[in-house]
Amino acid sequence: MTQSIRRGGRAVRLATRRAIAIATALAGIVALSPVQAQAPVPGALQPAGVTHVVASLEASGVQIYVCKRDAANQLAWTFQAPQADLYDASGQLAVRHRAGPSWEAPDGSRIIGKPLQHAANPDDAAAIPMLLLSATSDGGPGLLNTVRYVQRLATHGGAAPAQACVHEGEEGRSPYLAQYVFLK
């Protein structure tokens, strides 16, 4: 499956792990070591009492929106769920991100997040916000079972579809890229 995200008036296509790495570089997202990943984080997204980074992963996916009636009875896009795959620095699938929000590793470890803070991405004002979420384990032992916080950083894309929704229940998907940092 191919996804695209608009960057600077052109579409960046995402089809394979290699294409994801290339698109990530084009989008200005660089695979960061855990120490580098923490440098540009806004103060509001830095939790107290963190002892170390469990993983820093690059995400490629979509933000899913549904057409619903708002308080004024007008049709509008409403966020429903994320759907993304998170890759380690070698390009291997490390975690799947779904509704909840939840993250699940192939080893069976799983966490559920609760948003605590958000901040606009100063490098991409049209992107979904960067986030800090608290995390609780919801699966077995493994990569994610000790994670206490999740940061969504370096966001690009993912905002509600630009075209107006016209049919209640209609689904819209917006491609996005982000860095997820899992903290203990």
Backbone angle region of 46, left / alpha / beta, with phi > 0 → left and psi within -120 to 50 → alpha:
beta
* Helices marked H in 111-158: none
- pLDDT of 4 reads 47
Residue 4 lies in a domain: no
User: Tens of pLDDT along 15-45?
Assistant: 344 344 434 433 433 333 333 343 479 999 9
**Mean pLDDT confidence for 97-102:** 97
**pLDDT at residue 111 in the model:** 98
pLDDT band for 93, please (50, 70, 90 cuts). Answer: very high
87 in a structural domain: yes
Q: Which residues touch 135 (CB under 8 Å, ≥6 apart)?
A: 103, 111, 112, 113, 114, 144, 147, 148, 149, 150, 182
Is residue 149 in some structural domain? yes
**Total structural domains in the chain?**
1
Contact 100, 110 (CB under 8 A): no
Q: Is residue 26 part of a domain?
A: no
Let me know if residue 70 belongs to a domain. Answer: yes
In a domain, 21, yes or no: no
Mean per-residue pLDDT, 46-67: 96
Residue 81 domain flag: yes
pLDDT digits (tens, 9 = 90+) for 150-181: 999 999 999 999 999 999 999 999 999 999 99
| Residue 87, helix vs strand vs coil | strand
What pTM value is reported for the model? 0.79
pLDDT, mean over the chain = 84
Q: What is the pLDDT of residue 8?
A: 42
Among 50, 128, 120, 54, smallest CA distance to 84 is for 128
What domain range is 93 assigned to?
31-183
Report the share of the chain in percent with pLDDT over 90: 74
**Whose structure tokens read 């800090």?**
132
Strands (E), the chain: 3-7, 10-14, 53-69, 75-87, 93-98, 102-104, 110-119, 130-137, 149-157, 171-183
Domain membership of residue 25 (yes or no) is no
